[in-house]
Amino acid sequence: MPGAVRAVDPETGLELPGEVDIRAQLGRILSSPDFDVPDRARKLLTYVIEETIADRAVRLKAYSIATEVFGRAASFDAQSDPAVRIEASRVRRALERYYLIAGQDDPIVITIPKGGYVPVFTWSNQVSARVDAEVAEPVAPVRPRAPRWPFATTTLLILVSALAIGYWMLRDAGTDERRPAVPLVTEVASPDIPRLLVLPFEDLSHTPDATIIARGLTDEVIVQIAKFKEIVVLTGRPREPHANDRQLARYWLEGSLRVDTDKLRLSVRLLHRGDGSVVWANSYDASFSVHELIQTEHEIARQVVTAVAQPYGIIFRADAGRAPEIPSADWEAYACTLAYYAYRVNLDAKSHLSVRQCLERAVTRFPAYSSAWSLLSLTYLDELRFSYRINADAAPPLDRALEAARRAVELDPENARGLQAQMTALFFKKDVDAALKVGAQGITINPNDSELVAEYGLRLALSGEWKGGAELIESVLDSNNRGPLGYYETALALSFYMQRDYRTAGTWIRKASMGANPVYHVVAAAIFGQSGEIAAAAIEREWLMKNAPQLVQEIDRELAIRNITVDDQAHFVEGLRKAGLTIAGF
């Protein structure tokens, strides 16, 4: 019964908290604005406390938390999926912050010691209740007293990548009959996607404040990197990282922290395990206050993660430049994703075919490879939106894209790339509201994914919200996390054109320069035609009539499949006519 009988700490003789006290403390924590965590972190904390009170602490394992709190399937594997460990780290750090700021005078301290998920409940130093002589069994498991928290007082690289992976990728295009097919295997296998070991950031200031901040920054980096499903995140212990993790990890991320009153500097570097070389290094400076500490940690971690983990980030470029001369089948499957992003530089038909075939082989060998299914869906869509040659015997590209996206999301509902593929496929299916809803869901899961944010912005713009969409795309281009060269610049140029800002549209289209892509040229023609740049418009007109006459003839179809409104279609065609192109209809 709640509050009926109390247990004693044998070391201190103090009465240990009971159910009523513990639940009251939980209520104080959850209602405090200084306990700033997502809903599922709150659910995790509540779950482990209630299970412990109910004398079921022995059940508190990653598997039970994943299936009962996070709704994961019975196939959940804690070894390969760090979701529970990451969320538990978030809760531990949030509890630290809560007791640092708001909970200093609370009667009970709740902690979740590392290495498990069983909470510990102890009285704070201000409470000194004694118990009566007769004591019964404890209502909930109790651990020895823990010390009170210490409180504070205060573009070229992408092109090189394309060449680096070109040898093995292009040799496979259309040559399946010249090399043995990769056998389907029944044993568990996975592609050789990069594994990143995040080592605890070193505290060089050796103060209680700096220790907490270093631990918080490490946890925040792990939380944010884990949202990029193209990378497997491993964690290490202070001074003694797991030996197996070091063997498995292709890269190590390590850092050091200096704290001086209200300023901090985090120095981070990424090392390649094979030769110990420093692949990348950077330093981040910030001013902070105690009340803004979580936000400061979040922002610094965001900068580190977006530099390292993006599809066009440091690890992507390093891997693309290190493609082995004789790649294994596991490496080739991962390298297909590198090939996709290299293809995205120019979006040309020849590369499209080889990338599509490569991804098809990858999902055949690794049918649970969610990221490959995602990119395959986007590749199928390119057959539709860029009018690439389509295999007459295959299903319509939109059907194939929808099915591949469905598989990707089914395999991993939190894979932002899968949600990006599903959003784009639904958009071309003309289910615009559903598409934008899926895109918004993906951004909620991983707001640092620049590729997803920019694609969502493009879909938003094409649906008629040109200004809002352009702002999202521009936010990505203004950062150092830009995606394929030219693609989003073209999208921004079109957005400003539709807002009748032809001067800014012209500035962005000149930055794009996607020489082999017909869509780029048709957008450029409309912009130059509308702005009266006769010579530039003539160049685009001649290119289109020579290389993509069918696109011009079917421009109404091209605009319609992109869900551009009738009024915006008429505005676009007006620019093409001013460029000297003959457009039927409208």
Is the pLDDT at 130 greater than 70, yes or no? no
359-415 pLDDT, tens digit per residue, is: 999 999 999 999 999 999 999 999 988 877 666 567 899 999 999 999 999 999 999
Tens of pLDDT along 516-564? 788 899 999 999 999 999 999 999 999 999 998 988 998 998 899 999 9
Alpha helices by DSSP H, listed for 513-554, are 518-531, 534-547, 549-553
475 and 563 in a common domain: yes
3-state secondary structure of 117: coil
Q: Is 134 inside a domain boundary? A: no
Last residue of a domain, one of 277, 300, 320: 320
Q: Specify the pLDDT at position 16.
A: 75
Together in a domain, 104 and 25? yes
Please tell me the distance from the alpha carbon of residue 361 to that of residue 400, in angstroms, as a whole number. Answer: 15
Give me the residues paired with residue 255 across strands: 268
Verify that 583 and 464 share a domain, yes or no: yes
The answer, as to whether pTM is greater than 0.75, is no
Residue 540 resides in a domain: yes
Q: Residue 143: its pLDDT value, please?
A: 36
Give the pLDDT band of residue 73 (cuts 50, 70, 90): confident
User: Where does the pLDDT of residue 75 fall: very low under 50, low under 70, confident under 90, or very high at 90 and above?
Assistant: confident
Judge whether 289 and 206 are in contact, CB under 8 Å: no
Q: Give the orientation angle of helix 534-547 with respect to helix 518-531, to 10 degrees.
A: 150
Structure confidence at residue 151 (pLDDT): 31
Dihedral pair phi/psi, residue 233, rounded to 5°: -100, 130
Give me the half-sphere count of Cα atoms (radius 13 Å) on the Cβ side of residue 586.
Answer: 23
| Co-location of 198 and 112 in the same domain | no
Give the domain-ending residue among 102, 123, 144. 123
Show the domain range for 23. 19-123
Q: Count of domains in the chain?
A: 3
Pairing of strands 263-272, 278-287: antiparallel
Nearest Cα neighbor of 225 from 448, 442, 418 is 448
Angle in degrees, 0-180, between the axes of helices 370-385 and 416-428, rounded to the nearest 10 = 30
Whole-number pLDDT of residue 495: 96
Which of 320, 343, 364 is at the close of a domain?
Answer: 320
Helix H, strand E, coil C: the string for 232-246 is EEEECCCCCCCHHHH
Find the mean pLDDT for residues 252-261: 94
In a domain, 497, yes or no: yes
Same-domain pairing of 205 and 295: yes
* 8 Å CB contact between 467 and 499: yes
CATH number at residue 219: 3.30.160.180
Share of the chain above pLDDT 90, in %: 48
Residues 264 and 253: their CA atoms lie apart, in Å, by 19
Residue 297 maps to a domain: yes
Would residue 442 count as lying in a domain? no
Residues, the chain, total? 586
Can you give the pLDDT at residue 303? 93
Q: Give yes or no: residues 98 and 218 share one domain.
A: no
pLDDT higher than threshold 70 for residue 321? yes
What is the average pLDDT across 251-266? Answer: 93
Task: Assign 462 to helix, strand or coil.
Answer: helix
What integer pLDDT is reported at residue 261 of this predicted model? 84
* 148 pLDDT higher than 70: no
CA angle 467, 443, 87 (to 5 degrees): 155
- Of the two residues 58 and 425, the one the predictor is more confident about is 425
Decide if 365 is inside a domain: no
Q: Is 342 inside a domain boundary?
A: no
> Are 463 and 559 part of one and the same domain?
yes
- CB contact set of 116 (below 8 Å; sequence gap of 6+): 60
Whether 118 shows a pLDDT value over 80: the answer reads: yes
Does 338 map to a domain? no
Per-residue model confidence as pLDDT tens digits over 84-95: 887 888 898 889
Answer yes or no: are the C-beta atoms of 125 and 107 closer than 8 Å: no
Q: Considering only residues 81 and 142, tell me which one the structure prediction assigns the higher pLDDT.
A: 81
User: Among 133-147, 198-212, 550-564, which is the least confidently predicted range?
Assistant: 133-147
